[in-house]
A and B are shown apart, each in its own frame.
Chain A
Amino acid sequence: MEGPLLDFFRAARSAGLRISPAESIDATRAAQVVGLGDRARLKDTLSLVLAKTVEEKRAFAEVFDLFFRRGDFSPAPPVEEAARQPAPEAQASGQGEGGGGGGGQIARMLLSGDQAELAAAVEEAAQEAGLSNIALFTQVNLFTRRILERMGLQALEREIAANPEAERTGRLRQGRDRLRDQVRDFVEQNLALFARGETEAFRERMLQQTRLSAIDRRDHERMRVLVRAMARRLATQYGRNRKRDRRGVLDVRRTLRRNMGWEGIPFHTVWKQERIEKPKLVVLCDVSGSVAAMAQFLLLFLYSLNEALSGLRSFAFSGNLVEVSDILERHPIEAAIPEVMARAGFGSSNYGMALADFEREHMRLLDSHTTVIILGDGRGNRTDPRVDILTRMADRSKQLVWLNPEVRTLWGTGDSDMLRYAPHCRVTAVCNTLQHLERVIGALLRDGG
């Protein structure tokens, strides 16, 4: 009984469930306790042991049904056909033995139309061929051929070739074609079962490391899911625990208070705590052509994070600066981002003008608790960079972080003013993949911005 369960665990893993060896042992024990007879009960049981969130339960139910439906291999029509031709069967199998070789057995099965036996043979051949290792859709043909070979297809072919005229050969040919289709379906089902996770995981890994500006439009949806998941992870990590003990610094007042009941003898010591503040962020995004893709994901990231942040104001600019917090808060993010782009995006960037706009209208947002994040390549098309304003912003705020999608070696080349801005920023970082983004924002949350 371990065999099928092990296969099932593999299928479940590839459906995205994380099943540790300990859990698979538990699941096996649980299955032994309730027995394998009742499928609904088995499903409840395994779901209790293996799936640990609501989403996982859903995925589990799906893969369970898919996996155990696989057993119902025989489709209806061939059975009908077999019932229609009972008479020639006896005679055919008699001849089949004369036909000889491995082909004999498969021919007999095909002619008798015994689907259960055929299914069992396919299962067995599949196991020998290692079908549960299938990982890519390109392997479907390979595995189909391997399974058929193991079932003795060659001998069958020889038999068909030997006397092409006989009535029996015609039926064999039909049977062979049908079998080929069935095996192919079977392999495809297995691919859906075992390989799904591999492919998905592979693509997700790729996407995390791809430059954001180079990501295909069709992958944007998947990317959004990834960004949300990442933001969620950071938010649960940093959203709650906002205090940190400073070991070694005694909080005398609270220690005395706590120990009043024992005449002030300090049984319980209370240490001074440090509050980690939720970061207050002001974000300025360059949304001109080259940086736009990056800006989209940064905004998406920050808005998925809102529970770990105490205040977030965002601005977008290419030439003039526009406040976009409102749009992003009121609309769902899918609708909001195109709107932001429509308002401010795709012009040629002018950092000086944007900074001047900011100083004129929004300078009062900055205080000693605010972190300013500027996202941009620092290429102002040879306009006045207005470094003086940036200096004043850095002075007023807690810190200034500059994220630049360009690699460091390109900073300062051509019309890039990055090297002039950099001295005034506490952090400058290259940030052009999802991984970079996670790292930078994670560090920000950890230190309380």
Chain B
Amino acid sequence: MSIAWHRLLSSIEATEAGLQTAGYIASRPISTALYLAHHLRKPILVEGPAGVGKTELAKAAASWLGLPLIRMQCYEGLDESKALYEWKYGKQLLYTQILKDRLGSVLGEEPGLDAAMRRLHGVSDLFFSEEFLEPRPLLRALREPGGAVLLIDEVDKADQEFEAFLLELLSDYQVSIPEIGTVRADVPPVVLLTSNSMRDLGDALKRRCLHLHIGLPDARLEARIIASRVPDAAEDLRRQLVAFVQQLRMLDLKKLPSVSETIDWARVLVLLHAPQLDHVMVRETLNVLLKFESDIEAVTPQIADLLLKAKREAVPIR
């Protein structure tokens, strides 16, 4: 197989560098996972707290590899007809209406009911053919000629039955459609599933996947991420805000700020032209980092303390 993007995934280092060109700073396990996913033909199940870049990983991979990103958001009650394919009922109905007279004339010539039925059998498959098939994300990903990145987002929110339905797709990159047959991917897509651990996923699903856990990053990695995502932030500011967020994560809060919040905060600070952190600025922008009133109340009296520590501990990058 000579497919352009296969060559890009030639080594773990190349994977890491490639993701970086797409603006995604990957830790070593992340790049290893992507590399292995391709070479072992296995999907990756990504778990971790909200906002650490699970979905972002899929986007970055797609943009680096030059593949279309096909995204399927899971929710309770999601079923085959929304995930895989559906018949275009409206079109079928319309066509039967339009073709009514024609059918009537064709069938009218037949001598008896039996013959008319036979005739009809010959035609009926017309309405259950590719023409009338509405492909949904999973089928689209399989039929994409050059491969694709398929992101099955928040699979833990879907029902257990849906999880079982995914198994065939995940292990063999094929699905069975009763009326048409088995659809198999010519070029297996890169599949990523994400989960926020709303519930424990089944063992069968986990067994078929590489399991990648992305946690909250350490100061060094986070500083690199900020540098890549918010290049306008001055170095001083960047170091301080990362150190500040790292401090916050040690507190007992309802929802710890994750990377996406740090990035948002950095953007806000850049917009406000802050050369470095100061008390008033932090207090007024704290709601970007913390999403619960009680957390904000708990942190506000400690801002001065945290700032002091953050300035002392601000680490140089690399």
Chain A residues engaging chain B, CB cutoff 8 angstroms = 18, 20, 22-23, 26, 29-30, 33-34, 40-41, 44-45, 47-49, 51-54, 57, 236, 239-241, 261-263, 265, 267
Contact = CB atoms under 8 A, between A and B. Distances in A.
A324 B237 CA distance: 52
A47 B242 CA distance: 28
A44 B40 CA distance: 15
A18 B199 CA distance: 19
Nearest to A240: B199
Report which residue of A22, A48, A57, A239 has the largest number of chain B beta carbons within 10 angstroms of its beta carbon. Answer: A48
Nearest to B159: A241
24 contacts: A22-B207, A26-B42, A33-B36, A33-B39, A34-B12, A34-B32, A34-B35, A34-B36, A40-B28, A44-B29, A45-B32, A45-B36, A48-B32, A48-B210, A48-B212, A49-B211, A51-B211, A52-B211, A54-B213, A57-B213, A239-B199, A241-B159, A261-B90, A262-B89
Interface string B12-35: 100000000000000011001101
A275 B303 CA distance: 48
A47 B206 CA distance: 13
B100 to A, nearest CB: 15
Contacts of A48: 29, 32-33, 36, 210-212
Interface in B190-229: 199-200, 203, 206-207, 210-213
Contacts of B29: 44, 47-48
B89 A267 contact: yes
Interface of B: 12, 28-29, 32-33, 35-36, 39-40, 42, 47, 89-90, 93, 159-160, 199-200, 203, 206-207, 210-213
Contacts of A265: 93
A52 B47 CA distance: 10
Contacts of B40: 26, 29-30, 33
A262 B86 CA distance: 15
A30 B207 CA distance: 14
A331 B207 CA distance: 38
B93 A262 contact: yes
Contacts of A261: 89-90
Contacts of B212: 48
A255 to B, nearest CB: 15
A258 to B, nearest CB: 12
A103 B42 CA distance: 53
B83 to A, nearest CB: 16
Contact of A236 (B32, B39, B199, B210): B199
A240 B75 CA distance: 13
Contacts of A236: 199-200
A64 to B, nearest CB: 13
Given A22-B207, A54-B213, 13 more contacts: A33-B36, A34-B36, A48-B29, A48-B32, A48-B211, A49-B211, A52-B203, A52-B206, A261-B90, A262-B89, A262-B90, A262-B93, A267-B89
Specify the main secondary structure of chain B where it touches its partner: helix
A47 B39 CA distance: 16
Contacts of A241: 159-160
Contacts of B89: 261-262, 267
Contacts of A22: 207
Nearest to A45: B32
A44 B207 contact: no
B94 to A, nearest CB: 11
B210 to A, nearest CB: 4
A128 to B, nearest CB: 34
Contacts of A54: 47, 213
Report which residue of B32, B35, B39, B47 has the largest number of chain A beta carbons within 10 angstroms of its beta carbon. Answer: B32
A23 B12 CA distance: 22
A6 B48 CA distance: 30
Contact of B207 (A23, A33, A53, A267): A23
B158 to A, nearest CB: 11
A67 to B, nearest CB: 19
A320 B304 CA distance: 53
A44 B199 CA distance: 25
A34 to B, nearest CB: 7
Nearest to B39: A33
A267 B86 CA distance: 12
A293 B36 CA distance: 51
A44 B206 CA distance: 17
B172 to A, nearest CB: 14
Contacts of B12: 34, 41
Contacts of A40: 28
Contacts of B39: 33
A265 to B, nearest CB: 8
A30 B200 CA distance: 25
Contacts of A53: 211
A44 B28 contact: yes
Contacts of A52: 203, 206-207, 211
A241 to B, nearest CB: 7
A20 B213 CA distance: 20
Contacts of B213: 54, 57
Contacts of A267: 89
Nearest to B33: A48
A285 B36 CA distance: 54
Nearest to A29: B40
B19 to A, nearest CB: 15
Nearest to B27: A44
Contacts of B207: 20, 22-23, 52
A44 B32 contact: yes
A314 B29 CA distance: 47
Contacts of B203: 18, 52
A39 to B, nearest CB: 13
Contacts of B159: 241
Contacts of B35: 34
A29 B36 CA distance: 10
A18 B207 CA distance: 10
A173 B40 CA distance: 54
Contacts of B211: 48-49, 51-53
A54 B211 CA distance: 10
B93 to A, nearest CB: 6
B87 to A, nearest CB: 9
A234 B35 CA distance: 37
B314 to A, nearest CB: 28
B85 to A, nearest CB: 15
B32 A41 contact: yes
A183 B160 CA distance: 51
A23 B209 CA distance: 10
B199 A30 contact: no
B116 to A, nearest CB: 22
A247 B283 CA distance: 57
A263 B93 CA distance: 10
A271 to B, nearest CB: 13
B5 to A, nearest CB: 17
- The 5 A-B residue pairs whose C-beta atoms are closest, nearest first, are A52-B206, A48-B210, A44-B32, A52-B211, A44-B29
